[in-house]
């Protein structure tokens, strides 16, 4: 006959996490978008601008990527809610959505 001894855990259980499972899924999607080095570079280039805005055409030469590649990356970040855009004539200007960036910053601090 086996004696049943109470199980002693080595550590107390962690407190409930700050993130709900749904929030974790949403944030993981944002981090996947930023997991592409070119997108992270683009976001940093936009962030250092005085007005935190850039025309898509300005990124082509700076990053050494083709215009279609730049446009694709900007579209992915726009669709993820990290950027907003405004058409001015034939050019599209992108700026960071500060609230979305703040969410990422807060979760990492």
Rounded CA-CA distance 84/51 in Å is: 13
| CATH number for the segment(s) 21-108 | 1.10.10.10
Rounded CA-CA distance 105/37 in Å is: 18
Model pLDDT for residues 45-58, shown as the tens digit of each residue? 999 998 889 999 99
Whole-number pLDDT of residue 80? 95
The overall pTM is greater than 0.95? no
Residue spans per domain, the chain: 21-108
Whole-number pLDDT of residue 45? 94
Whole-number pLDDT of residue 23? 85
Model pLDDT for residues 48-101, shown as the tens digit of each residue? 998 889 999 999 999 999 999 999 999 999 999 999 999 999 999 999 999 988
């Amino acid at each position: 006959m086996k004696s049943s001894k109470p199980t002693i855990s080595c550590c107390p259980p962690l407190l409930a996490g700050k993130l709900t499972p749904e929030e974790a899924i949403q944030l993981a999607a944002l981090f996947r978008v930023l997991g592409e080095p070119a997108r992270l570079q683009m976001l940093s280039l936009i962030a250092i601008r005085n007005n935190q805005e850039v025309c898509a055409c300005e990124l082509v030469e700076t990053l050494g990527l083709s215009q279609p590649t730049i446009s694709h990356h900007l579209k992915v970040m726009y669709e993820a809610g990290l950027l907003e855009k405004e058409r001015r004539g034939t050019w599209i200007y992108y700026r960071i959505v500060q609230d979305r960036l703040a969410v990422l910053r807060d979760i990492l601090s």
